[in-house]
Structure 1
Amino acid sequence: MEVKKEKSAMLSNYEVLALLQDIQKGHNKQKKMHTNIATVSYEIIQHLENTACAKQSPEVISNFMKALEPYKLTKAEKLQFLNLRPRTAVEIQLIVEESEERLTEDQIYELLDLLGQHLPGDDTEQEQEEMEEEEIVDQE
């Protein structure tokens, strides 16, 4: 994978994971420059490998981006969809700026279906979030 403009690129979690794994394996020509970030890279890789992005691939991402084209979302919104994988209409409304004017209720539910169809999920991540939500409710 190649980042074209390193200082201005928006990267998905999948791309960050792949880039850091390449650095860690020594596939990056500037490895000596990166020795100071070895610990940070390791921690980020450990985190991202336990999220849904570890199950993504360039093909999955490409197909997902093509499926989003009819919705006229910005690049940043598409990236947030890819990274955050919203599961509710409220989450979509928080990601899409001026969503009330730009998306109908039907389109929001279509987007939820697209997310479920095109992006591999992480059931353990969802279960963990649900458990955390239950603990918050129990504490109140």
Structure 2
Amino acid sequence: MKKNCYFLQLELNCKNHMILAINEDTKGARSLIGYMVLEDVNRPGTPNDFKDLHPVFFKDWDDDRNLIFARIYTFDSITEEKQDALIELAETFIEFKPSVNLKLDFFVASEVLKLYENSWENDMKMIPVYQWLIDADSENPISLAKLKIDSLNHLSQDE
């Protein structure tokens, strides 16, 4: 059985937010299955950020590493095997940073697919897609209202 491959494509790169398109290669055909959003919240993680940890860890909490949220939005639900592959991709972005803590969550967001399809029909103006992804769960949301399409031709979209 041949495994599927995943490719990340940089879509938006701002000071504290990155958006990457997740493409799946299945038997040579590549298709967009969702987006990964990385957000640097510029603070240490707290027990409230990791509510799924057993309470016994909370009494000795002393983690002062910088917290980065990774949120993966897929158009449809995905298997645990696919989730594991995407977790590995997310971790490779920050695994060699000396003092960083990653908080990763998965979401099924069919509304992102609708926005993507509408944007594709509108000369590929994807800014509404990016804004939705940032607004959805960001601790420090930013506005992309002044973002110009031409700025997407640069490595960073900070103005």
Quick check: TM above 0.5?
no
TM-score normalised by the chain length of structure 1: 0.31
The structure, 1 or 2, with the larger RCO (C-alpha pairs under 8 Å, 6+ apart) is 1
Between structures 1 and 2, the one with greater helix share: 1
